[in-house]
Structure 1
Amino acid sequence: MSTTSGTNSTSHTHTTSRTHGTDAAHTTGGTTATLGTPVTFTLTEAQLDPYVTHAPTRRWLTGPGLPDVGGLVTFETLRATGLRTVADSTGDTADRLPADLRDQLVIGGLLGGEGPETESVLLDGATGEITTTYFFHDRLDLMDRRPFAPSLEKLVRFATAADELAALRGQFAAYAGRYGPEAVAEASGDLLALYEAGADGEVPPFWKLAAVIRPLALMAGPGTRSGLALDLPPRLLDEEFETGAIVRFEEVDFPSALVHEPTRRFLRETGLPEECVWFSLDTDVPLPTLAEHRADTGEDSAESDAPLPEGAEGLIRLGHLVEDTSLVLDGTTGAVLAWSEPDAALRPLNADISTLAFTLWLIRREHTLDAEHDLTEAYDQLAATMTRTLAALDPMACDPTPRTPTDDGWRYWPEMFEDEAGGGLFA
């Protein structure tokens, strides 16, 4: 191998509307909708009283309304229960909540990297300001608010832009089929400029993360040349990691079990970083199979107590992660898996070597961007954004669907991203 440089509302009702289109209409439960167009819902003037006094906000809620659900924000809470204050939602009768939170209206929630709601979205009925909060039902005194958007109109605009970037449609349709550093820089600049204009230059952390991290998914395109999941730009890893940090392998380093030629070619020509936060590459000896690695550790090793997974002779150990976890390659398919000795569990890690390389690049790039933008001030939101960005190119890395006999759905990268105590996302 070689190393190279490089309160109320129990009786709440809502009106559901859709933008006009040419598709056929249908009626369900008294609601007429047009198939194939975005769902929005509105409230009546009576439903806004006495909670919302801010005139522009009243006009928005009774007029354009709110989207049913998007990729980042859901308003299902408002649609299901109507307007409720934080005090009503928490049942706080002892004035434990901070004063500025009691009368805020709960209207929705943020979606995490894997879908379920995390933070709640709040509306100030007097000013129209939008913030977010975590509900700590046992410690209401610890709850606080984070800025999210100046108004509902801006919130919808911000969320729509992020969704359009993710889907490469609407105002970001021109980026479809474009990949590489130039596409990333332009898309990030466009989205950040939109947010800065809408927030008078003070972009809330959530949207800054969307503008800085989410476009990184445009760095690599589908694998048409490599025979792998992704085609990475030439020297992507060399340019991101320090000089001498990339290891490239030679034919003599490969065991006979590694028959997947695109993987062999990637390891020879592109290579992998020797170290990257939660990952270390084995460089001392030619790559062993997992069975050979077990034999080499010796009978007195704690690892020898755990039974090896089925087919261990066809799994090639590339290196290790954390907590006695080996990173292994399926020599036949090129799939990248994590073998946990303590759990005796073999789980998917990445779709293949190209998406593993992208993951390591993404982590290293986030460190660089954190130093510039202080992304970790909203660590939890950063972790969710990292998971969402990785899932855009490698769904398997974040999908908890079991894929092996010992797979319990636990996924390494999302869990590591979320580990703020471990601090792996700090620059």
Structure 2
Amino acid sequence: MTTEKLRWAAEQYAQWGVDVEAALAALAQIPISIHCWQGDDVIGFDGAGDLSGGIQATGNYPGRARSFTELKQDIETMLCLIPGHHRLNLHASYAVFEPGQKAERDQLEIQHFQPWIDFAKERGLGLDFNPTLFGHPLAQTATLSSADETIRQFWIRHCQACIRIAESFADQLGTSSLVNIWIPDGLKDIPADRTSPRQRLKASLDQILAMDYDRSKVKVAVESKVFGIGIESYTVGSHEFYMNYAAQNGLLCLLDSGHYHPTETISDKISAMLMFTDELALHISRPVRWDSDHVVLYDDETRQIAQEIICSGAERIRIATDYFDASINRIAAWVIGVRSVQKALLNALLTPQEKMAKLQKQQRFTELMALQEQLKMAPIGEVWEVFCLRQGVPGENAWLKVVQDYEKEVLLKRNEEKEEIA
């Protein structure tokens, strides 16, 4: 029956000049860097306390991972439900310490992440990395833009340690690692001086990048945000700041789809940014009004982002997910979000891009609009089911049962157990 459905779907797409088999092959080659922090509400393992920095995971769904062992178990379950071969995105706060061996963030070393590397080797995953400049006593007011030189140097050392760790990821795994720098620095109310904090941020980044590291192994990115809880009026690391800094210093500018004004989308920025850089990094999230970290859905903006990725060349874009929802089953949140990104990419691969571009060039806008509407009713669901089947994961009607069984057998029992030591 699946073969018959695929044949029928392929015939439908063929009328628009689309090769379904080519689309399936291309989708299998596009990795997504899946964020680890959905599994434990961004808490991490270093026990620093509350999140801070305008970050908040709402909800208290049972079964949150409390240790490396539990988080790894949840990630393994999640990966079995997502087709394709992907990457894992870690925050520095997920260092794994032996009992009594905790290290401060500016003293982190590769040994604290060796369990993650071993796991990545077992699963065939690449690893990406993020300095954790929040959820720490020294991140209460500012980090890389701090007027306190002691605090600023602490976070500079932390970022440099993360770059060294990422270089070891690349050495051991044979694939480059993206290190993404995001800071929560800003002010709740109207600033009197916008310049000085940005001067300090620039000086901090300059000092971080002055270290010796292999740029073919470590790709450094900088990520902006327009607003956060407690920094509503002024964000030091704005889009304009990082866009220019990245261009001047040969870094990747990372666009997070939830970090802009509610009516502003990153899909329109992708082609513009790629006019001036070889690579671009994305965090795909789902903003709802001013909140940026909802589970990604197969919605209009996600599909448009995917269209721009495929049109611009997926090999030029480092795709990652970034959201955290504690109000629903956390594994289901992972699966829904990542599979939604993949569905959007498949939709883009099944779109007759050249035909539509030709219609636009010839100003045949009536035909273009009609074709765009026809494609919304195309049988992508049948093609997606075949992709899942070929990749050895459950289809749309089957994956949730796996998650529900895991919840009964594993997650609900965690609330009855004492917290485990990683």
Choose 1 or 2 for highest CA Rg.
Answer: 1
Report the TM-score, using the length of structure 2 for normalisation.
Answer: 0.27
